[in-house]
Structure 1
Amino acid sequence: MSDRIDVHQHLLPTRYREALESSDLTAGGWPTPAWNPGDATAMMDDAGIATGVLSISAPGVHFGDDAAARDLAREVNDFQAELVKDAPARFGHFAVLPLPDFDGAVAEAVRALDELHADGVVLLSNARGRYLGDPAYEPLWTELAARRAVVFVHPAEPPIARLDGLPSPLLDFPFDTTRTALDLVAHGVFDRHPELRIILSHAGGFLPFAAHRFAGAAMFNPDTTPEGILAGLRKFYFDTALSAAATSLPSLFAFAEPGHVLYGSDFPFAPKEWRGEFDRYLTAYDGPGAQRFPDVDRAAAEALFPRLATG
């Protein structure tokens, strides 16, 4: 394909990289890659991607100081907005928020969506151990729902020790995505805010494979039912970043609603050869469920981001 919309593409502007390095932080032990707009455009040309919707990856912008996090979020979002202004068909952006500063996050979400016209916001799967069903998020969900905002959930390092030789993105990130998705549904966020459109990274972690097991959450949350849990889990959208494989696509396509699977590359964190292997399998896949999802490359994303629609 030559016209993909990539909803899982990252950026690392200079100011953000400097903040990471000064704080001695990485994305869960994963090496921090090089990035610039020219390299992003070259990758997109090579991979048949027309538009990349950019976002900041883990660990986000909050490194311990609320004021510094607010400033960094504003700088990064202003930078992204300028990229989109200069090339609106080439780039989109999810605004980053200074969580776990919840007041600052609400203010920046409102500014980014109303003034910068961001395509949505990115939330990490947990903010210092607080998952997306936590009541502290409720004012933020209220503002996002009022704008029918698209929310991109990117995994973060969970509050557990890494296993030796296994950086969090390899193993813990899919777990944390799954954990926060179920937390969000079991605690009624979709029930209170049905207008939300939420994309889960990396095919939702383990969610499609184990969704019927998770329906058991209704036994411990009296305001829910097994059917309600499954219905809530099916409200999610899913991207294919590093997840288009023979063992994952059948499960994803069996669970997701039509139009709810979107293309993702995970550039620049995913090595080119690894990313290319998943892309080749996605392009060639004709197994179970393939006929239900002819829109993965573009049309599903156009429905979420009408400004990117071409016809």
Structure 2
Amino acid sequence: MQYSKMDLHAHYLSPGYKKFLKEKFNDMGDGVKTPAYSIETTLEIMNKTKIDYTGLSISSPHINTGEQISTIELAAEVNDYAAEQQQKYPNQIGFFASLPLPYIDASLRTIKHALNVQKAAGFTMPTNSRGIYLGDSRLDPIMALLNEHQAIVALHPNEPGTYDTHVAGQIPVPIIEFFFDTTRTVLNMLQNKVFLRYPNIRFIIPHAGAVLPIVASRVQLAQALNPKLTDEQVDILSVMRSQYFDVAGLVFPQQLPALLDLIDPKKLLYASDTPYTPTPHVIHLAEQLEQTGVLSDAEKHNMFTANAQKLLNRI
């Protein structure tokens, strides 16, 4: 590997989260086999891929168990575990705290504790929590507090709140539905002016923007069909220019070039998506990014390290 890296989309599995996946999903959350994991898994991948710093977060399914008390307890457990790893490896490991969405008071307490006590790098939020999407006005108090603290919020796709499993068929949820749900929640946030009302939140949109690079030019056409939409409610291009995007997953040959036509390259972030992406694939995808001609050497350096350093204020 030529470039040192900072990874802002990598996952961990705490003991409580493993139990959740076992009991609720028979170790097949979102149709994906639960990978083996310990913190050594992360450290080994970092060594093989020349990653100096990893910001860990919980993946999907979201920690909402369907019941308030156990959701709050699971949020505390996953955050405590990650904070412990950060304390053990302060120069190598950081974490994005999970929130017990959609429970407002508990989420507000979690934000304060994560920032003031656990020193979280930021927060991770699912595209939806049991059908409540991130533009929902019920979540406004959470967004307001995150905005007050100028928080970093890494979005992560979740199984859609509603979709026809007969149409989806045998294709696992992460392959297609994750991309649609990321796109769906960003457009939901746009229509409800989340980006305008909470401008201090730095959102990280995963997987090279999912379907957004392909549909962005169509969004503004919505006013022709629905004149009630304001300019701000369809201005997805401003969102694309102002927010951050990670490169988790397979971004070549289509996604990354399309994304780069719409965003500021200084908002591009490296991401491994481990351990759900197996290590050989992580290495291969990193090599693709290192060798691509789509990015200049300076842009590669920024994507791999400098952009994340600036975002996390680690310069």
Interval containing the TM-score (normalised by the shorter chain)? over 0.9
* Deviations 1:208-232 (CA, angstroms, capped at 9, x unpaired): 2221112234554533347733212
Q: Is the 8 A contact 2:193 2:233 kept in 1?
A: no
| Gap regions ≥5 residues in structure 2 | none
Partner of 1:194: 199
Q: Taking every aligned residue pair, what percent have the same amino acid on both sides?
A: 33
Q: In structure 2, what is the Cα distance between the partners aligned to 1:22 and 1:246?
A: 38
> By how many angstroms is 1:199 displaced?
0.2
What is the DSSP-based 3-state SS (H/G/I as helix, E as strand, rest coil) of the residue aligned with 1:255? coil
Q: 1:236 is aligned with what amino acid? A: Q
Partner of 2:269: 262
More helix by share: 2
Q: Which runs of structure 2 are paired with 1:1-311 in the superposition (5 Å)?
A: 1-24=2-25, 26-158=28-160, 159-162=162-165, 163-218=168-223, 220=226, 222-225=229-232, 228-287=235-294, 290=296, 293-294=299-300, 295-307=302-314, 309=315
> By how many angstroms is 1:32 displaced?
0.8
How many residues end up aligned between the 2 structures?
307
> By how many angstroms is 1:130 displaced?
1.5
Q: Is the 8 A contact 1:119 1:150 kept in 2?
A: yes
Q: In structure 1, what is the Cα distance between the partners aligned to 2:126 and 2:119?
A: 20
> By how many angstroms is 1:113 displaced?
1.6
> By how many angstroms is 1:96 displaced?
0.5
Q: In structure 1, what is the Cα distance between the partners aligned to 2:177 and 2:296?
A: 28
Q: In structure 2, what is the Cα distance between the partners aligned to 1:214 and 1:292?
A: 32
| Gap regions ≥5 residues in structure 1 | none
What is the DSSP-based 3-state SS (H/G/I as helix, E as strand, rest coil) of the residue aligned with 2:123? strand
Q: In structure 2, what is the Cα distance between the partners aligned to 1:2 and 1:203?
A: 20
* Deviations 1:29-78 (CA, angstroms, capped at 9, x unpaired): 11110110112101110011111100001112111111111111111111
Q: Is the 8 A contact 1:244 1:279 kept in 2?
A: no
Aligned CA distance change for structure 1 residues 227 and 23 (closer, same or farther; 3 Å): closer
Q: Could you tell me the TM-score, scaled by structure 2's length?
A: 0.92
* Deviations 1:75-132 (CA, angstroms, capped at 9, x unpaired): 1111111111111111110000111223322221221122211000000001111211
Q: In structure 1, what is the Cα distance between the partners aligned to 2:251 and 2:93?
A: 23
What is the DSSP-based 3-state SS (H/G/I as helix, E as strand, rest coil) of the residue aligned with 2:29? coil
